[in-house]
Structure 1
Amino acid sequence: MAVIETERLYLRRMHAGDLEALMEIFSDPVAMQYYPRTRSRVEVKDWIHWTENNYRDYGVGLWIVESKDTGTILGQCGIIPQAIHEPVQEWEVGYLFIRRHWGHGYATEAARACRDYAFTHLAADHAISIINPLNQPSIKVAERNGMTRREVTRWRDHSVAIYQITREAWQQRTDSI
């Protein structure tokens, strides 16, 4: 059952049966080049469990992104509670797709839907994306999502760029459509 539906995509809850599709992302050194490392099957199982806990604890998390036309799993995108500067919790729009599905606008379409969900269902006053400062493709998705660079900071022992869109900026975008 879809949590979010867009023109071309369904975003649904992740479950243990998604392990193989997620391994296509997490074991791919190119897809993971801006992350500390690739992940093992055990780590991806832990990722699924962490995501299921986010659903239980926050009502949101990373969702599996599927093609409406084919049912093919394209990647993951969703909303994750993050604390960049403790103890303040912020809603992150995160996304990571299977490499063979890059370049079709799926990440932007899914990220926009998640951004809108954060404002309409979570009463967020802003949404962020946490991105490696060298990851130009993800930065472009964030910018197409209406986000601008808020800061570059250290987080979890890594340099990250925080991109943000405020409720006011989001509302201006939606009012102009």
Structure 2
Amino acid sequence: MRKIVITTERLTLKEMNHDHVRDLLEIFSDPEAMTYYPSTKNIQETSEWVDWTISNYKKYGVGLWIVEDKKSGEFLGQCGIVPQEVEGSLVMEIGYLFARRAWGHGYATEAALACKHFGFEQMNLPKIVSLPDVKNIPSIKVAERIGMKVEKKIHKWGKDVFVYSVSRSSLEKNQCE
């Protein structure tokens, strides 16, 4: 039984395991969905992705989670909180990647917002980031919709990415105003 981590109005986010390799291949083998990644992934690389995710669960208590339609159980994509290095510091990033058939329905925003709440409320994180490619307008819009602001541009993964962030203190300050 896969552990349910988060539920929203329309979505269920569950821990990933090797049973999800075929589902993830829908995204990883799609050149359009993988435009902002170095390349598509084959079955072996997808299995290694699942291994990396499981190791994040064990080491950090978070990772990418499988996103499913709450009513039908249909696979939609992945979203979660993952450790990333930014300029020598370990930060927690909300990452998201969805099947093309799920684009344009607000699933990424709904899942990312739930992950933001999880990070602040369950993990007590002081700050959460998102690292979209500077050309990835849909991912940038998701980061902005969940209240993140651009901090700077950095070079990571061989390309330019924005560092979007939101801090617990900024949320608390906004709630007091």
Superposed pair shares fold, TM > 0.5: yes
- Listed as ranges, the gaps of 5+ residues in structure 2 are none
1:56-95 equivalences under 5 Å are 56-86=58-88, 88-95=89-96
The match for 1:11 is: 13
Query: Which among 19, 23, 27 is matched to residue 29 of structure 2?
Result: 27
**TM-aligned CA deviation for residue 36 of structure 1:** 1.2
The match for 1:123 is: 124
Secondary structure of residue in 2 paired with 1:90 = strand
- RMSD over equivalenced CA pairs, Å: 1.2
TM-score with structure 2 length normalisation? 0.95
Secondary structure of residue in 2 paired with 1:131 = coil
Deviations along 1:69-110, one digit per CA (max 9) or x if unpaired, are 100010000000111111x11110000000001000000000
Alignment size in residue pairs: 174
Secondary structure of residue in 2 paired with 1:71 = coil
**TM-aligned CA deviation for residue 44 of structure 1:** 0.4
Aligned equivalents of 1:99 and 1:31: distance in 2?
A: 6
Secondary structure of residue in 1 paired with 2:96 = strand
Deviations along 1:14-34, one digit per CA (max 9) or x if unpaired, are 010111110010110110111
Aligned equivalents of 1:171 and 1:20: distance in 2?
A: 41
The match for 1:133 is: 134
The one-letter code of the counterpart of 2:144 is E
Aligned equivalents of 1:19 and 1:53: distance in 2?
A: 16
Deviations along 1:25-69, one digit per CA (max 9) or x if unpaired, are 011011011111111111000000000000011110000001111
**TM-aligned CA deviation for residue 168 of structure 1:** 2.2
**TM-aligned CA deviation for residue 139 of structure 1:** 0.4
Aligned equivalents of 1:6 and 1:172: distance in 2?
A: 25
Identity %: 47
TM-score with structure 1 length normalisation? 0.95
- Listed as ranges, the gaps of 5+ residues in structure 1 are none
Aligned equivalents of 2:97 and 2:17: distance in 1?
A: 16
Secondary structure of residue in 2 paired with 1:52 = helix
Aligned equivalents of 1:156 and 1:100: distance in 2?
A: 27
The match for 2:164 is: 163
**TM-aligned CA deviation for residue 157 of structure 1:** 2.2
**Greater shift after overlay, 22-31 or 164-173?**
164-173
The one-letter code of the counterpart of 2:96 is Y
**TM-aligned CA deviation for residue 149 of structure 1:** 0.7
Secondary structure of residue in 2 paired with 1:12 = strand
